[in-house]
Amino acid sequence: MYRGKIKFCKSLNALFSSQYFHRKLTIDVKIAIYQYCQESGIKLRLYHNYFEKQSTGITNGYRSLCSFEYNNQSHLMEADALCGIESNGQKRILAVEIYNDEKVIRVMRALEKYRQALSIGNPSLKFGVDNNAHVLMFFRHSSMIDRIRTRLAEDIRFKLFLPYIHLLFLDNEYFSNQLKKLPFGRF
């Protein structure tokens, strides 16, 4: 059972239903990753959600704890969550993305930014970890996984990055079994 603190957005603004479900799934993924780490003997060193903000030092300026540079031109991107795990003394950063819809082009645009970020060492460098970040993409619609895999296989730019991209289906029955298949216990 997860007994850690779950941070949540305390905004007074109403949420659209898609935002509500996205935030709910983000928290569900956090709990599943926590449970996976507990069962596997992996230490969960950090976990930040996109709705956790920090001051930029500018008046009324806040930036998500999950934002990081994705190219050498100081352009920022924001993961839905960033977590740090440790096993056998080795650390790894995991970027988490959650998709409720079936828009392949949106996912491919995000993957292109991740490809650029991984090529310069982010998001790992943000936390002082070697260049070994992985991207976990969770989909509410299982059909998206095959569609994205096909696109990735057709695009030569992603050839070197395929071992770092993991496509997972958001279904409670299969969720924990999918996490167990990931290479995080074997650093």
Listed as own residue / partner, the contacts of 32-39 with beta carbons closer than 8 Å and 24 or more positions apart are 32/175, 32/176, 32/179, 33/83, 33/94, 33/96, 33/179, 34/2, 34/4, 35/2, 35/176, 36/176, 36/179, 36/180, 37/85
List the CATH code of the domain at 17-185. Answer: 3.40.1350
pLDDT of residue 103: 93
Mean pLDDT by 10 residues, the chain (187 residues): 54 61 86 87 90 73 81 83 90 92 93 91 87 87 93 93 90 65 60
pLDDT of residue 170: 81
